Amino acid sequence: MTQAAVQAQEGAFTAPQPLVVNRDGASPVIVVCEHASCFVPAELNSLGLDAETLKSHVAWDPGAMKVAEGISERLDAVLVASQISRLVYDCNRPPAAAGAVPERSEIFDIPGNRNLAPAQREARIALVYEPFRASLASVIAAAEGPAVIVTIHSFTPVYDGVARDVELGILHDSDARLADAMLMNTHWHTSLDVRRNEPYGPEDGVTHTLRENAVPAGLYNVMIEIRNDLIKTPREQDAMAATLSGWIISGLRELGVAIPGEEV
Ligand SMILES: [Zn+2]
C-alpha cells in the first residue's frame, strides 16, 4: 500500500520521517537509534496516557539520541533515528511481534493500543516501521564498503520495582564478533559494570535491527544498552559518547577494520 493510501485510511496520522544525520559520513559505522523520540502524533490522542508517562522511559530511551549523536560526530558516522515514540510503533520489533505496538509496557497499560482494528495496526506499520526500515536500508546500501551496525539504547535503573546493578550492556545476536572484541577491552579498562546481553538479550526479541540488517549480510554489529541515570546531563551524555566511541574503535581495530582519521 502506498503512503498516500495509508494516510487516507482509518487510523492514519501524520508521522515525521526518520532522521538521517551526517549522511556522507566517512566511517563504515552506521549508528542507529530506534527509540530516540517520545513524540506521539496529535491524531493518536496521547495513546490515552498522561504527560508524565509519555516523557518516561516507557515512551522512549531517554538520553540515547544524545549519546548516538556524540558517537556519530566522533566517528564521522551516519546516524539513523526514529522520530516517533516506540509506543506508536517500536522500530526494533518486526511487524509480527505483539510488542511492535505494545498494549502494555512494564507496569503501564497503553489504552490507545488496545483492540486496534487491523487497518489501524497496518497504518502504524506503514507510517512508522516501513519508512524507518527503508531509511536504514538505503544508508547501508549507500556505504562504500561493508557497514558496521551499532545501535544505541538506554534502560531504566528500576524495572518492575527491581533495581538494576548493570550499567552498560553489550548485546549481540548470533554474531558476537564485535561484542566480543569490545568486551575484551572493557573488561580491563573501565570501572563501569559492563555485561554481555544484559539487562536484555536476544531471547527478549531486542536484537531485531541487528537480525534484520546485519546478521544475514555478515556485517559486524553490536547493540549498546546504557542505564539512563548515567546519561542525564549533556556532560554525562558527551562523556558516555566519548567512552563508547573509544570502545567501538578499539573493538573494530581488533577485527582489522580501519576507522578514517584513527591511527590503526
Ligand atoms: Zn531501546
| Rounded distance from Cα 93 to ligand 1 centre (Å) | 10
pLDDT in tens, 42-56: 999 999 999 999 999
Separation of CA 8 and ligand 1 centre (Å)? 30
Residue 18 to residue 139: CA distance in whole angstroms: 12
Best-predicted range by mean pLDDT (97-101, 158-162, 198-202, 229-233): 229-233
Give distance in angstroms: CA of 220 to centre of ligand 1. 19
Å from CA of 5 to ligand 1 middle? 30
* 260 located within any domain: no
- Find the 150 Cα to ligand 1 centroid distance in Å: 13
pLDDT at 1 over 60: no
Domain presence at residue 264 = no
pTM, two decimal places: 0.94
Q: Ligand 1 centroid vs 61 CA: distance in angstroms?
A: 5
* pLDDT reported for residue 264: 43
Q: For 109-119, what is the mean pLDDT?
A: 93
Write down the mean pLDDT value for the chain.
92
Please confirm whether the linkage preceding 199 is cis (ω < 30° from 0): yes
Structural domains of the chain, count: 1
Domain with residue 141: its CATH number is 3.40.630.40
The proportion of the chain whose per-residue pLDDT surpasses 90, expressed as a percent, equals 84
Quick check: 106 pLDDT over 70? yes
Identify the domain containing residue 226 by its residue range.
3-254
Q: 254 CA to middle of ligand 1, Å? A: 27
